[in-house]
A and B are shown apart, each in its own frame.
Chain A
Amino acid sequence: MTRFEELRQAIIDGKAPVAKELTDQMLKEGIRPAEFFPNAIIPAMDEVGRRMRECEFFIPEVLIAARAARASTDILRPLLVGDETVKSAGTVVCGTVKGDLHDIGKNIVAMMLESAGFQIIDLGVDVTPEKVVEAVQKHHANIVALSALLTTTMVNMKAVIEALTAAGLRDKVKVLVGGAPVTETWARSIGADGYGKDAPAAVDLARHVAA
């Protein structure tokens, strides 16, 4: 097994200490930080996404895999700053909408997007439309990813789109939405650019709109 394959497997198996140790060792062995994403982290999380879709992985397995990926990316990210050979897949502002405090789904999406090479600005929960606008402006984001778990809060996704429009940013970002009560029909009705029914779908969507 190559070193990259070892790291991929450690991430898929959710072994965060192993992923951390391997990352450290591989860096000492001279492997460039930029090589980790395409050769280990992205394929590992793509495999996690595949297993999630095939109902082989469930929430616990996805969370520990994402945690293992983060154990590696936390080491790599500071080393990638200023590396012009590394092109971010895009910058995503994400959050759970105003009035909603639920974040497990949003966190999984954020972790999988980060592992896929996106820069993530996670605004947390109970996020106002104004905060989204401010973050898009500050970080020059090209994607906004919104989550809602409640029928009473999903209406605030529309408020975010309206706020982006009012700020003159609507044509600069793609707005993706998801969450338990959200549907493709709902997403279209509020003018969102895409609907992700689960975390792997959100990653595919983000890659598609960022391309």
Chain B
Amino acid sequence: MMNSRERVRLALAHQEPDRIPLDLGATSVTGMHVDTVYRLRQALDLDGPGTPVKIIEPFQMLGEIKPDLRDALGIDTALLTGTGTAFGFKLEGWKEWKTFGGTPALVPAGFNTRTVPNGDLLLYPQGDLSASPSARMPRGGYYFDAIVRQEPLDENNLRIEDNLEEFGAITAEELEHYRHTAEELYTCTDKALVLSWGALSLGNIARVPGPSLINPKGIRDIEEWYISLSSRRDHIYKIFERQTEINLENLQRIYEVVGNRVTAAYLTGTDFGAQNGPFISPKTYRQLFQPFHKQVNDWVHRNTEWKCFIHSCGSVWALLEDFIAAGFDILNPVQCSAANMNPFDLKTKFGSRMTFWGGGVDTQHTLPFGSAKDVRNEVCERIRAFGPGGGFVLNAVHNIQALVPVENVLAMYEAAREYGTYPLRLGAAA
């Protein structure tokens, strides 16, 4: 029987393995909210009642996907990531915590919060309670949003360094973590490793406000950032140029310690699509982002066996040729609910050149609000669309959120396993 790593490798090579590979938790955009992880683990009898779940990504409140859950669902992938978080504290020193939903959880020692009078939760950069908070979770909410801390901008004295403070050389300690974790995952599991290093994305809106910084300088307001893509283009270009230099140095060092144990590298999480169309024009993408994306992807393809993974929410049909020209091999999350993202059309036009990693079920309506039967039907439709010829790794469109019924999550993976074997029984794309 084929192992997971081989299964994913074949799919990424646009060949049909024994079945469509499945992901849950191999990236910070293919995971699951801790509330839902907890309920799923309880439903599958993997834990005694009240057993806390680790929050391994505190921004989006993602719960740890442990090997037993991976095995229970038939997952083929595993996360290879660093020890840091978006808030500048490390994933260590675990302490007990409870979500607003009442889920018992474990959070890192640096996860320090304060509750304000209206019940909202504030989170502090680097765990420093003396700093101004860098994120807020509304009372009863499910994840954090960055707090914009924008100092007045002096148009005549913009410095690229101010938007690069959080990007630096990877430390020896972090490299040892990558080496050791890659070796362990590669030798003790058969999963396809997906590499993440949080600082790789250019202009990721989640990170623009500088949630890890005590005192962010530069352009940190989200609207101001978007405006800068048009009105301060040269400045943004220089920021990206320098950040790419840093990224390439770090990728080189990471490759030296993990080698080709990695199957795919999650290289950018910047969203280029909104619900109805791209955030930016294809021209802006080509001028500002593509040269640097290509530089990184070319390096990866020349020096490694990794496949290049781009995450972009939303309607990105208009940008896909440019993503392919930039050298990306994998598109995630494949938001078919956005405009011009019909799964059959995507496969027809781009399927031989781009692997669709995601797209398994709509997360804006079907997965949270539909019945288990609706979920199964939609998974079947997506298999029919994306499955033929390989080039498909199935998971939900983006992270599975809180409040998603457990039976819907189970229905999704059950349908994927039942109908995802090759040759596909569901027939070719319509």
| A100 with B138: CB separation less than 8 A | yes
B173 an interface residue at 8 Å Cβ cutoff?
no
Q: Report the Cα distance A127→B223, complex, angstroms.
A: 20
Instruction: Give per-residue flags for B213-254: 1 if the beta carbon is below 8 A from chain A beta carbons, else 0.
Output: 000000000110011111100000000000000000000000
For residue B275, which residues in chain A have a CB less than 8 angstroms away from its CB? 180, 197
For residue B3, which residues in chain A have a CB less than 8 angstroms away from its CB? none
For residue A78, which residues in chain B have a CB less than 8 angstroms away from its CB? none
For residue A102, which residues in chain B have a CB less than 8 angstroms away from its CB? 145
CB closest chain-A residue, reference B136? A101
B167 an interface residue at 8 Å Cβ cutoff?
no
A20 an interface residue at 8 Å Cβ cutoff?
no
A152 an interface residue at 8 Å Cβ cutoff?
yes
Instruction: Give per-residue flags for A44-61: 1 if the beta carbon is below 8 A from chain B beta carbons, else 0.
Output: 000000000001101111
Among A60, A181, A197, the one with the most B-chain Cβ atoms within 10 Å of its Cβ is A60
CB closest chain-A residue, reference B33? A152
| B363 with A58: CB separation less than 8 A | no
Q: Report the Cα distance A151→B366, complex, angstroms.
A: 11
- Rounded to whole Å, the gap between the CB of A168 and the closest CB of chain B is 27
For residue A59, which residues in chain B have a CB less than 8 angstroms away from its CB? 226, 274, 279-280
| B227 with A60: CB separation less than 8 A | yes
A63 an interface residue at 8 Å Cβ cutoff?
yes
The answer to whether A198 and B230 touch (CB under 8 A), given A58-B284, A102-B145, is no
Among A67, A99, A107, A197, the residue within 8 A (CB) of B138 is A99
- Rounded to whole Å, the gap between the CB of A11 and the closest CB of chain B is 14
For residue B136, which residues in chain A have a CB less than 8 angstroms away from its CB? 101
- Rounded to whole Å, the gap between the CB of B132 and the closest CB of chain A is 16
- Rounded to whole Å, the gap between the CB of A77 and the closest CB of chain B is 21
For residue B226, which residues in chain A have a CB less than 8 angstroms away from its CB? 59-60, 63, 104
Among A67, A101, A102, the one with the most B-chain Cβ atoms within 10 Å of its Cβ is A101
For residue B142, which residues in chain A have a CB less than 8 angstroms away from its CB? 152
For residue B365, which residues in chain A have a CB less than 8 angstroms away from its CB? 151, 181, 183
A64 an interface residue at 8 Å Cβ cutoff?
yes
Among B140, B274, B275, the one with the most A-chain Cβ atoms within 10 Å of its Cβ is B275
For residue A152, which residues in chain B have a CB less than 8 angstroms away from its CB? 141-142, 401-403
For residue A67, which residues in chain B have a CB less than 8 angstroms away from its CB? 227
Q: Report the Cα distance A64→B233, complex, angstroms.
A: 13
For residue A104, which residues in chain B have a CB less than 8 angstroms away from its CB? 222-223, 226
Q: Report the Cα distance A104→B226, complex, angstroms.
A: 10
For residue A174, which residues in chain B have a CB less than 8 angstroms away from its CB? none
For residue A197, which residues in chain B have a CB less than 8 angstroms away from its CB? 275-276
A14 an interface residue at 8 Å Cβ cutoff?
yes
- Rounded to whole Å, the gap between the CB of B230 and the closest CB of chain A is 4
B58 an interface residue at 8 Å Cβ cutoff?
no
For residue B402, which residues in chain A have a CB less than 8 angstroms away from its CB? 152
A8 an interface residue at 8 Å Cβ cutoff?
no
- Rounded to whole Å, the gap between the CB of A100 and the closest CB of chain B is 7
The answer to whether A58 and B280 touch (CB under 8 A), given A63-B226, A67-B227, is yes
Residues of B contacting A: mostly: loop
| B363 with A64: CB separation less than 8 A | no
| A98 with B138: CB separation less than 8 A | yes
Q: Report the Cα distance A197→B120, complex, angstroms.
A: 30
CB closest chain-A residue, reference B231? A64
For residue A193, which residues in chain B have a CB less than 8 angstroms away from its CB? none
CB closest chain-A residue, reference B340? A55
| A14 with B230: CB separation less than 8 A | yes
Among B228, B229, B280, B364, the residue within 8 A (CB) of A151 is B364
- Rounded to whole Å, the gap between the CB of A210 and the closest CB of chain B is 24
CB closest chain-A residue, reference B280? A58
| B229 with A60: CB separation less than 8 A | yes
CB closest chain-A residue, reference B225? A60
CB closest chain-B residue, reference A100? B138
Q: Report the Cα distance A2→B139, complex, angstroms.
A: 53
| B364 with A107: CB separation less than 8 A | no
For residue B274, which residues in chain A have a CB less than 8 angstroms away from its CB? 59, 180
A162 an interface residue at 8 Å Cβ cutoff?
no
Within 349-363 of B, Cβ neighbours of A (below 8 Å) are at 363
B369 an interface residue at 8 Å Cβ cutoff?
yes
B278 an interface residue at 8 Å Cβ cutoff?
yes
A204 an interface residue at 8 Å Cβ cutoff?
no
A126 an interface residue at 8 Å Cβ cutoff?
yes
For residue B318, which residues in chain A have a CB less than 8 angstroms away from its CB? 55
CB closest chain-A residue, reference B140? A99
25 A-B residue pairs with Cβ-Cβ distance under 8 Å, sorted by A, are A55-B277, A55-B278, A58-B278, A59-B280, A60-B227, A60-B229, A60-B231, A60-B280, A61-B230, A61-B281, A63-B227, A64-B227, A100-B138, A101-B145, A104-B223, A126-B138, A151-B368, A151-B369, A151-B401, A151-B403, A152-B142, A180-B274, A180-B275, A181-B365, A197-B276
Other than A58-B277, A152-B141, give 16 A-B pairs with Cβ distance below 8 A: A55-B318, A56-B281, A59-B279, A60-B227, A60-B231, A60-B284, A63-B223, A99-B140, A104-B222, A107-B223, A152-B401, A180-B274, A180-B364, A181-B365, A197-B275, A198-B276
The 6 A-B residue pairs with the shortest CB-CB distance, nearest first, are A60-B230, A101-B145, A180-B275, A181-B364, A60-B229, A99-B138
